[in-house]
Structure 1
Amino acid sequence: MTNLLDDLAWRGLLYQQTDAEGMEQLLNKEKISLYCGVDPTADSMHIGHIVPLLTLRRFQMHGHRPILLVGGATGMIGDPSGRSEERQLQTTEQIDLNVQGIKKQMEQIFDFNTENGAQMVNNQEWIGSMNVIEFLRDFGKLININYMLGKDSIASRLDTGLSFTEFAYTLIQGIDFNHLYDHFGCRVQVGGSDQWGNITTGLEVIRKTHDENAKAFGITIPLVTKADGTKFGKSSSGSVWLDAKKTSPYEFYQFWINTADSDVIKYLKIFTFLERAEIEALEVTVENEPHVRKAQTTLAEEMTRLIHGQEALDQAIRISHALFSGNLKALTAEEMKDAFKDVPSVEMAKEEKAIVDFLVEATVSPSKRQAREDVTNGAISINGEKVTDVAYVVSGADRLEDEFIIIRRGKKNYKMIKFV
């Protein structure tokens, strides 16, 4: 099997290590437990969250045990890392709902049923029962204020303002690492580059509460960026979520398949579990046959299958093929609604209307004369069925689920007509 650290380096997943040599010696000597934390600020993760988790999964594939910490306690506080303002605080009930949503998504990524199966923990279990005197006595005295002010995540917020709540976050995360070290034998924390200060605080807490034989390590992963410098993880409609209700499998698939040639090999390395030889072969296709977009198709298939499963991937591919060919009849009403969620739409009353009048009122054609030409020339389709008779009447029989109609004018101009 490929050397794990060499593979991570090739994939561009190693940014900072607290002790690279010690880490390599540890991994060569034994199988370890290591963790990554996610704060439940929403009931779903988005794709920006999953790079450290996928990295943890790579460790699992090499025989190590991942510990997945969902921050039921820290999620109620807010992490100053990379933020310019205080986080909106959430209720305990909302945090609990968020934890359940994230747990389901973790189960898609990790194997929980093997000898080195993933373990999920919630820091509410040990932080939630700690009172303020215990916190200050047992941990507050360990970390010097000057040490904390030296953290970039804190120093960068001093001018704009930082509450004591968020100031304390880095120490609370340090308590997490210390707890996992003591109770789960956890030796390594993995996080994004913005977590470096929190990770090193955890190592400092371990150092000060154990003897000199205690050894723990930290690794951070670089921030994922696009080649053009724009932010990764955003589509035209906003964040790309793992929850199918927030970002459908079709939209998820489309996000990846629209990856630029300049980014696709980088993303294949970071996000997929394909072997090096496979990715290098795809790199050749990007150079020699970019129009085929084989690398993008592979990336979209791998990611959609990982997060949503094979059935959802098959549906996303079916929708994509139907739209490309214009054969909307191959889609169910629900698939059409999903596929055309972001196309221009208009609302109309539920009443029968001659096709020419319908096209003008729906602003599909600019005038009755043009609408008649569009129909007779075969440029108009309703739900994938071509309409060429200017005497055609649009009725309830055309409405899908009695809610909407998809009109196509020409090859690519779609509009959704919603009925009220």
Structure 2
Amino acid sequence: MERHEEICAQAREYETELKAYEKQLPVLQQSLQNADGWVDTQAFASAMRENARKCSSLQDRLTAVFEMQDNAKAERELARIDAAMQELDGVFSQQQEQSLELEQKLADALDTTVAGLFESDAAQEQGETCESGQELPEFVTADIEKLLSLRENPHLPLVYRQVVTKAIARMKQAREERRLLSFCEVELPDILKPCETFLQLWHADGETYLHLMRRYEALCRMNAHELELVPFADGAVQDLSSRIAAEEACAKEAAKQAYIGQAMDEVMAEMGYDVLGNREVRKRNGRHFRNELYRCSTDTAISVTYADDGQIAVELGKTDDEDRLPTPAEGAVLVQQMNAFCRDFKEIEARLAARGVCLDKRLALTPPSTAYAQIINLRDYEQTAPQENEKAEEQAGRARKKRQPTVRQAGEET
């Protein structure tokens, strides 16, 4: 117990470090949002998405460590996590440097954009310029104060504040009153309008946007989905609401699948089939499956497959430590076991129904056949810790007398 507590303490330290990294993601996202449209941000955005994915993956691995009963296995996983954390530290340091470079490129781009506003004509007439040290006209002072207020507004994005800052600097440097007047009447409205429009939108939707963004980030992490950037803009609240609805539906289905899996474990245990192992499978086409393996007899097992679309497949096979096809004799024995298990499956369905789990739309049975006989390679599964022989015999005793039917997906004919 003491060893397990030490492992959990180390895992909590890693969680604290990971949260510090995760707090940097919104800052990096702000840099990306500010520079988007001004300079090339594609590489930076790709790296940031990868960082977010790594943080989410490490959090899932740390959560799994807390649940591990095998201390040796937990320590090995912590060692791998330590290496990944060191790698993550280097990656974040590199991206912070890239963020500074991005901001410098943005500043240079803005300099080029605003620099031409107040460049004096080469043939500037001396009589029309203001003397050095002369106070700025009152209308100019009022406009500068308005710009200063915008520059200090914490809700205004950096890209707008940079434009405002450059405009202030150019106004202060200008020495020709007619050019200042022209700027304030012609150019300044084009600078003020997008800033004021943004702030009006922020006052209306800003708090809602922040609340929805936190909700969206939490759901993406819970569902292990990649977080997509949703900059604050007109329509962002509606966009986030739609994304949240989709993530909530996914989370609801995942919770339903988890409950079905838990109910299946309980019923199978009641019927004498103890858990033998499990695995996660992701196909090249993106489809994802979860398998639970239950001991049927000393050399056979029942595999229950849960697909992302809610379908459940149940198969019986002879266990081995290699991939191969069953011999004709093994196939004949497996068919007998399938037939025997058919008699028990009605009881399994009834006990699941008592727990609120109805399989009629998720699963259907077909007659047992050698066409469905198979060998289950135990090396493909993460096996549970071995139990004491007497306890295992007692739990599996009834299961040895039962056999498993094959299963078809819902919608197929029997």
Q: Which TM-score applies when normalising by structure 1?
A: 0.22
Larger helix percent: 2
Larger Rg: 2
Q: Which TM-score applies when normalising by structure 2?
A: 0.22
- Greater RCO (Cα-Cα under 8 Å, separation 6 or more): 1
